[in-house]
A and B are shown apart, each in its own frame.
Chain A
């Protein structure tokens, strides 16, 4: 369960990125977060990852109170969250398999476990035949699928996808959202931050719309352009 209670965020330069946001995302939900640039979507992601701390209010992710969490506990929190970025953030000198295994390796998993799980996740995203390809040899969609596999490989409870379809073609965009839905069906909470009107309208999932740092609409089966 993710809870935002009256959360505000003011940056040191005075920018009010979030204003009294109240939000609740239950375990296993699939949520689209939409809004124009500067609406506060990125700040929301940063707060969830504890990259930024709220200026006011309280954020809870399961047992973690992000508003008061010590910096030593941040890695523990992040192990429960998988993140997918718009720009993939794959390491160019590593193969697809190595990029995925890297995420497990830094958490101290055994080599045997890493090998088995990486193979499974490559199969899940349909890239087992590209295991030895480096990011430069992959298409945008393939890169994003590797990034998704990396986000999932440590078995997080929550997956946050920040504009996952921004750099891929429309066919691949659908494939990525389908993959995220598959992940959601496995019981994970999925939060997709996007600008893609067609996808949001097509899937008719819960849509949280943000504007000028506030949640202006939060509807199940909602549409992008309702506000």
Chain B
């Protein structure tokens, strides 16, 4: 069979005819596909952002040692010297509680003045900010500082050590739960999508059964008969991809603005994931369309 360029128009005409003839099923397909893609896209965005923040935490090579409030300056200084001598320590910066309060006030911007009420009774503590060279020795470092807290000349100086590992571990476990739940949800939606597309295409085949039977009798190739149906799946998939991409884009912008403004975590800009997102949405959407339609045409191909 010769391929004619005008056949492309014919294929598209049949595909769109199928979509509009079974509009309810087509709408259902698009709705399920969009849901699947949004869940997949959100999971991806969430895990990418969590991983980025975890990485940031891990590259934050500092430990903060909070000094008990009653400690004399020379004792703090002694502890600082002791820590400074440890092999994996690069520097130890001593931030007094007044500086801590001042930094805090600066972070609050226009509302920083509120903290002036604490000028006479500063609730903050002095901090020793330790910059280390080897992140694999953080546990050792923490252990050694705790040991210094037991030594006579620096006894009870350390109030608390904050090495952020706990936070990282918590975030990581939350991420694992999110990934697990979303993976199951995605798998479920994937199966539902394929099933719905299969039924939509089956309906399209049914509504064109006379045409298909004549095509077969006159010797049309399997490709010529089947391609309009596969194209229908592709169009439904592509339309769903485009719509869900738009929803994700605007949703992400809104959310990242809200979260970013809070300053709690770093939200990656959408543009940094744009290329992967376009490939992902187009691939999954169109892929689902093709898989669904091919599966529904299996019976036809067997006959």
Interface residues in B, total, Cβ within 8 A? 22
Q: Could you tell me the distance between the alpha carbons of A89 and B214 in the complex, rounded to whole angstroms?
A: 8
Whether A102 and B3, one on each chain, are in contact in the complex, defined by CB atoms closer than 8 angstroms, is no
Q: Which residue of A lies closest to B4 (CB)?
A: A108
Whether A89 and B219, one on each chain, are in contact in the complex, defined by CB atoms closer than 8 angstroms, is no
Considering the complex, which residues of chain B in the window 154-175 have a beta carbon less than 8 Å from any beta carbon of chain A? none
Nearest Cβ distance between residue A83 and chain B, in whole angstroms?
A: 5
- Find the residue from A71, A108, A109 having the highest chain B CB count within 10 A: A108
Stretch of B98-106, B131-139, B141-149, B220-228 contacting A (4+ beta carbons < 8 Å) = B220-228
Considering the complex, which residues of chain B in the window 1-43 have a beta carbon less than 8 Å from any beta carbon of chain A? 1-4, 6-7, 10
Q: Which residue of A lies closest to B301 (CB)?
A: A71
Given contacts A91-B210, A91-B211, contact A108 B218 (CB under 8 A): no
For B3, the chain A residues whose CB sits under 8 A away are 108
A16 within 8 A of B: no
Whether A154 and B4, one on each chain, are in contact in the complex, defined by CB atoms closer than 8 angstroms, is no
Whether A103 and B210, one on each chain, are in contact in the complex, defined by CB atoms closer than 8 angstroms, is no
- Find the residue from A75, A78, A102 having the highest chain B CB count within 10 A: A75
A96 within 8 A of B: no
For B220, the chain A residues whose CB sits under 8 A away are 75, 106-107
Given contacts A106-B224, A108-B4, A110-B4, contact A78 B219 (CB under 8 A): yes
Question: Taking chain B's interface residues, is the majority helix, strand, or loop, or is none over half, making it mixed?
Answer: helix
Whether B218 and A109, one on each chain, are in contact in the complex, defined by CB atoms closer than 8 angstroms, is no
Given contacts A72-B222, A109-B2, contact A49 B217 (CB under 8 A): yes
For A76, the chain B residues whose CB sits under 8 A away are 219
Given contacts A77-B219, A78-B219, contact A108 B211 (CB under 8 A): no
Chain B, residues 181-222, CB within 8 Å of chain A (1/0): the string is 000000000000000000000000000001101111111111
Whether B218 and A106, one on each chain, are in contact in the complex, defined by CB atoms closer than 8 angstroms, is yes
Chain B, residues 215-248, CB within 8 Å of chain A (1/0): the string is 1111111101100000000000000000000000
Nearest Cβ distance between residue A136 and chain B, in whole angstroms?
A: 14
Q: Which residue of A lies closest to B6 (CB)?
A: A111
Whether A107 and B219, one on each chain, are in contact in the complex, defined by CB atoms closer than 8 angstroms, is yes
Nearest Cβ distance between residue B220 and chain A, in whole angstroms?
A: 4
Nearest Cβ distance between residue B243 and chain A, in whole angstroms?
A: 31
Considering the complex, which residues of chain A in the window 47-85 have a beta carbon less than 8 Å from any beta carbon of chain B? 49, 71-72, 75-80, 83
Nearest Cβ distance between residue A104 and chain B, in whole angstroms?
A: 8
For A80, the chain B residues whose CB sits under 8 A away are 219
Given contacts A89-B213, A89-B214, contact A108 B7 (CB under 8 A): yes
Q: Could you tell me the distance between the alpha carbons of A16 and B163 in the complex, rounded to whole angstroms?
A: 84
Given contacts A107-B1, A110-B4, contact A154 B219 (CB under 8 A): yes
A204 within 8 A of B: no
Q: Could you tell me the distance between the alpha carbons of A108 and B10 in the complex, rounded to whole angstroms?
A: 11
In the complex, which of the residues B2, B216, B217 contacts A108, with contact meaning CB atoms closer than 8 Å? B2
Given contacts A89-B210, A89-B213, A91-B211, contact A107 B6 (CB under 8 A): no
Q: Could you tell me the distance between the alpha carbons of A107 and B225 in the complex, rounded to whole angstroms?
A: 11
Whether B4 and A102, one on each chain, are in contact in the complex, defined by CB atoms closer than 8 angstroms, is no
Given contacts A72-B222, A75-B219, A79-B219, contact A103 B214 (CB under 8 A): yes
For A49, the chain B residues whose CB sits under 8 A away are 217
Q: Could you tell me the distance between the alpha carbons of A155 and B218 in the complex, rounded to whole angstroms?
A: 11
Q: Which residue of B lies closest to A103 (CB)?
A: B218
Whether A83 and B217, one on each chain, are in contact in the complex, defined by CB atoms closer than 8 angstroms, is yes
Q: Could you tell me the distance between the alpha carbons of A76 and B224 in the complex, rounded to whole angstroms?
A: 13
Whether B218 and A107, one on each chain, are in contact in the complex, defined by CB atoms closer than 8 angstroms, is yes
A105 within 8 A of B: yes
Given contacts A89-B213, A91-B211, contact A108 B219 (CB under 8 A): no
Whether A79 and B2, one on each chain, are in contact in the complex, defined by CB atoms closer than 8 angstroms, is no
Q: Which residue of B lies closest to A153 (CB)?
A: B218
Whether B4 and A75, one on each chain, are in contact in the complex, defined by CB atoms closer than 8 angstroms, is no
In the complex, which of the residues A71, A91, A110, A154 contacts B214, with contact meaning CB atoms closer than 8 Å? A91
Q: Could you tell me the distance between the alpha carbons of A167 and B214 in the complex, rounded to whole angstroms?
A: 19
Q: List 5 A-B contacts (CB under 8 A).
A: A75-B222, A107-B2, A107-B220, A108-B4, A109-B4
Residues of A bordering B, CB below 8 Å: 49, 71-72, 75-80, 83, 89, 91, 102-103, 105-111, 150, 154
Query: Nearest 5 CB-CB pairs, A to B?
Result: A79-B219, A78-B219, A106-B220, A108-B2, A103-B218
Residues of B bordering A, CB below 8 Å: 1-4, 6-7, 10, 210-211, 213-222, 224-225, 301
